[in-house]
Amino acid sequence: MKSTNTVWHNATVTRERREGQNDHKGVALWFTGLSGSGKSTLAHTVEEALHQKGCRTYVFDGDNVRHGLCADLGFSTEDRSENIRRIGEMVRLFVDAGVIALTAFISPFRKDRQGVRQRVTSDDFIEVYCRCPLEICEQRDVKGLYKRARAGEIPEFTGISSPYEEPQNAELILDTGTTSLTDCVDQVLRLLGERGVINSGQLRAASGTGKTRG
């Protein structure tokens, strides 16, 4: 922090009071994986399931964030790290607000994901690895990005000309190339129940709301 003239203000409305009002805990659900692995689809479907039960949620989507908060960043290693650092700080604030914050970012580098875990604290950080073979991601390629990357039109593209470092200790690994969306959603919700983020009533109401991947 550059300034030495700022002092942290402790609010009277605490995280515990917000979580009590929300009837669930705040947590960071960090979905990571290659482009086309299903991160965004899964994050938004999980959010829909939680929202239907009245949970306070917000999805930080990689493309959406780059339209505003991180519009000044490119895709160099340094810019990717800064992108994740900014998101990590935003997510930390949302968790403090008692919100279930879901993110859908490739976040290819372990050190960046570990940095967010440390900022949010490990107890509040759930890393969900959407594991999907590159060939399946390329077959999906709904945005045509892999085709352009293969043609050399997109430099530093993860999985093609830039590395993806797989999580070594993710809280949940989902084989999104072969597992239905419904099953993936149910696994995420079950983990939230096991960790006490949502209660058993919310878990029953939220389960089964996903749609099978077509």
| Confidence class for position 214, pLDDT limits 50, 70, 90 | very low
More confident residue, 61 or 200: 61
The dihedral sign for the CA sequence 166, 26, 22, 200: positive
Out of 37, 40, 107, 162, pick the active-site residue. 107
Whether residue 47 lies inside any domain: the answer is yes
pLDDT tens track for 37-94: 999 999 999 999 999 999 999 999 877 878 887 888 888 889 989 989 999 999 999 9
User: Parallel, antiparallel, or unpaired for β 125-131 and 27-32?
Assistant: parallel
pLDDT at residue 210 above 50?
Answer: no
Q: Residue 53: give the domain boundaries.
A: 23-202
Domain count, the chain: 1
How much is the mean pLDDT over the chain?
Answer: 90
Q: Is 180 a catalytic residue?
A: no
Note whether 165 and 81 are within 8 A (CB): no
| Confidence class for position 208, pLDDT limits 50, 70, 90 | low
pLDDT at residue 103 above 70?
Answer: yes
Whether residue 17 lies inside any domain: the answer is no
Determine the pLDDT at residue 61.
86
Backbone angle region of 196, left / alpha / beta, with phi > 0 → left and psi within -120 to 50 → alpha? left
CA distance 113 to 145: 23
Q: At 117, which CATH number? A: 3.40.50.300
| Confidence class for position 2, pLDDT limits 50, 70, 90 | low
Whether residue 18 lies inside any domain: the answer is no
Whether residue 113 lies inside any domain: the answer is yes
Whether residue 194 lies inside any domain: the answer is yes
More confident residue, 7 or 100: 100
Whether residue 62 lies inside any domain: the answer is yes
Whole-model pTM: value is: 0.87
Rounded to an integer, the average pLDDT of 124-145 is: 94
Whether residue 116 lies inside any domain: the answer is yes
Whether residue 131 lies inside any domain: the answer is yes
Rounded to an integer, the average pLDDT of 168-186 is: 97
CA distance 197 to 56: 12
